[in-house]
Structure 1
Amino acid sequence: MSKVLDAIPSSVQRRVQSAVLSSVLRLPRPLLRRIAGSPIRVDGQELALEVQALLRLQALAGQERMAADTPERARAGMAQGIEVVRAGVPGVQVSRRTVSTRAGELPARLYRPEDRTEPSTLLVFYHGGGWVVGDLDTHDELCRFLAKHADIRVLSVDYRLAPEHPFPAAVEDAVDAYQHVLENAEDLGSSPDSVAVGGDSAGGNLAAMVAQHAAANGIKSPVLQLLLYPAVDASTRRRSRELFGDGFLLTDGDMDWFMDLYQPEVSERGDPRLSVLLNEELDGLAPAVLVTAGFDPLRDEGEEYARRLAEAGVPVIARRFPDLIHGFANLFGASPRLREAMFEIVGEFRAGLSLHAAS
């Protein structure tokens, strides 16, 4: 049987897996519950049924972790996993771009809704993946979704990854990419007064760091930060990491693996360019939409960062999705519940932009 499967092109296998997964997650809820098992309730929250079923199917397929024995295998694993949940986002034009950095030219992709011909807000997006995995392809559908439904342009930046390029390479790339966008905003269909930054997980960390860097160095601040379950403090273990460090996609072991590759010097993990939560000067930062997931090891640090921003006078829209897991934005093609959450996030992002325009 394995020889038969090996003879089937991997692209065909992924399409079949995607079709099967989509069908399973749309079964009547009583049947889906039988697949998922008894409801999972932790810390006063109940995991979404579709998500629990998805995790169950991943466990059966041996895909319970993001880490692997080598970075290359982890990258391939993430790419394959994303292919299985792709749903397609039509109506978006995509073009190849590059951004200039101190390390040279980096690949980027510019997304524009097909019916958006006038200038618009431009979101500079940094992908997640623990600074080790992820690329333009793994986050392509997410960027398409944000561009289409927020009616904006999105520039996704392919920053350098660890361990080939450890900290602070990604930081330097993120800062330089933002500066490049400010200097070339008109060519990208926007203006320096309409540039936002955003990212998920490690990418949310980079977006937050860019906003801090801009404020501290007299650079034009972004109009808004979109921080999706960001990693903001590598120096402290919080309660959510103990509660959700196993069985919810991003594991405690994954987090150690990523950090050991990105910043192997434990004594340097409190550097505020990495642990952005530790920056004592947060006043004057760009407004933020900060999203967390209830069953995420990063939940508590993200919500603490939201509190610290608010205490510093930064306008913050903080939203927890108590029934979801880390990485859900990349999985929205898998179920209606995840897609519903993404539409809520887009609504909050547009509300943040409207507040900026009114100020």
Structure 2
Amino acid sequence: MDSVADPGLAAWLQEIRRSEGPAPSLEQIQRLRGPRPRAAGPGLAEVKDLVVPGSVPVRARLYRSSAAAQHLTVFVHGGGFVFGGLASHDRLCRRLALLGGTAVLAVDYRLAPEHPAPAAVDDVAAVLDWAAGGLQGRVPAELGQLLPGVGLAGDSSGGLIAFLAARRLAAASARPDLLFLAYPNADLTLSLPSIRQKGEGWGLSARDLAYYISLWVPDASPGTLAGLSPVHGFTLPGSGMPVPAIVATAEHDPLRDEGKLLAERLAAAGADVEYVPHAGLVHGFLTLDAVSPAARRAGDALLGQYGVSLRRVADGGV
């Protein structure tokens, strides 16, 4: 085995490799959507569920570590476009609120195959637009006190959905002030070397991911997939000065190369980019804090770094 960050992560990988099963299916997706025991996250001043109004109402969950005015982060969970939700990322959102010093609004967007693309992007864009109204003085009472400036964060498939929502809102008042993309899907064609190098036995199966993508994008022609992939001829989110971004990757992740390439292309297009690679870690390390001390330390540092960057950018810093 290539070197991994700590024994806890090595044991987790061994269990993953022992339990790798048959090809993915709709039945498997339903099982993955089911409830399961999860380690509790830190306590906060406020955690509440709400519904963002619109032509398609969107469920969301608000996390606040303080009643004082804070910047807002809209969070988009991962899960291969087909599973995941408020429960799967509850602990991560609590950590983000606490360590990043930000109010967090987690979006329970619609999932494939019932709701293929662009439904998830529609939902995230609608939540951003609603929250931005509050940042312009029309504060939705549900959100509490907010400071000007909003970040948009997503992990894995949520990173891609967040990027596409930011691109859609590039010329709108609802555009985010900072993107935080953790090990994002950025190449739906799955064509970069790390897909082949790390595509089996490292916690994220390239075979399974290809199936999930086919459910999210039923018209999976090369042109359609490339058009939804930020690393292939993307349009940079932001009009005038591009939206700054933090892009994090992990060494043993099939998506490592596309995340790195996305950071490079954003920087080449003029965005202020903080690229943060993580040696010895795997895809999804932000939600592996309960099994790996190294993943927890890396996640804590990354979430804190994001909070500092959001405050700097929202306050007009470089």
Q: CA deviation at 1:75?
A: 1.8
Change in Cα spacing, 1:321 to 1:237, as seen in structure 2 (3 Å) is same
> Please, which runs of 5 or more residues in structure 1 have no aligned partner?
1-39
**Which fold has the larger relative contact order, with Cα–Cα distance below 8 Å and residues 6 or more apart in sequence?**
2
The 8 Å contact of residues 243 and 297 in structure 1, kept in 2 or not, is answered as yes
- What is the alpha-carbon distance in structure 2 between the residues aligned to residue 154 and residue 59 of structure 1? 34
The alignment covers a number of residue pairs equal to 305
Match of 2:48 in 1: 95
TM-score, normalisation: structure 2: 0.89
**What is the one-letter code of the residue matched to 2:61?**
R
- What is the alpha-carbon distance in structure 1 between the residues aligned to residue 159 and residue 22 of structure 2? 20
Rg bigger for which structure?
1
Match of 1:209 in 2: 164
SS at match of 2:225: coil
Change in Cα spacing, 1:354 to 1:55, as seen in structure 2 (3 Å) is same
Match of 2:59 in 1: 107
Q: CA deviation at 1:335?
A: 2.5
Q: How does 1:171-190 map to 2 (within 5 A)?
A: 171-185=121-135, 186-187=139-140, 188-190=143-145
Change in Cα spacing, 1:260 to 1:233, as seen in structure 2 (3 Å) is same
RMSD between superposed Cα atoms in Å: 2.1
**What is the one-letter code of the residue matched to 1:203?**
G
- What is the alpha-carbon distance in structure 2 between the residues aligned to residue 255 and residue 189 of structure 1? 38
After the TM superposition, which segments of 4 or more aligned residues of structure 1 sit over 4 Å from their partners? 63-69
Match of 2:149 in 1: 194
Q: How does 1:212-223 map to 2 (within 5 A)?
A: 212-215=167-170, 217-223=171-177
Matched, 1:288 2:241: no
> Please, which runs of 5 or more residues in structure 2 have no aligned partner?
none
Moved more, 62-71 or 257-266: 62-71
Q: CA deviation at 1:191?
A: 4.6
**What is the one-letter code of the residue matched to 1:142?**
L
The 8 Å contact of residues 234 and 270 in structure 1, kept in 2 or not, is answered as yes
The 8 Å contact of residues 120 and 189 in structure 1, kept in 2 or not, is answered as no
Q: CA deviation at 1:63?
A: 5.7
Change in Cα spacing, 1:171 to 1:226, as seen in structure 2 (3 Å) is same
Q: CA deviation at 1:276?
A: 2.5
The 8 Å contact of residues 229 and 299 in structure 1, kept in 2 or not, is answered as yes
SS at match of 1:184: helix
SS at match of 2:290: helix
- What is the alpha-carbon distance in structure 1 between the residues aligned to residue 21 and residue 98 of structure 2? 31
**What is the one-letter code of the residue matched to 2:14?**
R
**What is the one-letter code of the residue matched to 2:41?**
G
- What is the alpha-carbon distance in structure 2 between the residues aligned to residue 66 and residue 224 of structure 1? 38
The 8 Å contact of residues 64 and 247 in structure 1, kept in 2 or not, is answered as no
Change in Cα spacing, 1:64 to 1:324, as seen in structure 2 (3 Å) is farther
- What is the alpha-carbon distance in structure 2 between the residues aligned to residue 190 and residue 304 of structure 1? 37
Deviation by residue 1:172-214 (Cα, 9 ceiling, x = unmatched): 1111111111123433135583211011111111111122122
SS at match of 2:9: helix
- What is the alpha-carbon distance in structure 1 between the residues aligned to residue 25 and residue 168 of structure 2? 33
Deviation by residue 1:57-81 (Cα, 9 ceiling, x = unmatched): 3444x267994552212322xx53x
Match of 1:6 in 2: none
- What is the alpha-carbon distance in structure 2 between the residues aligned to residue 175 and residue 349 of structure 1? 21
- What is the alpha-carbon distance in structure 1 between the residues aligned to residue 311 and residue 148 of structure 2? 14
TM-score, normalisation: structure 1: 0.79
- What is the alpha-carbon distance in structure 2 between the residues aligned to residue 208 and residue 94 of structure 1? 26
Q: CA deviation at 1:271?
A: 5.5
The 8 Å contact of residues 128 and 200 in structure 1, kept in 2 or not, is answered as yes
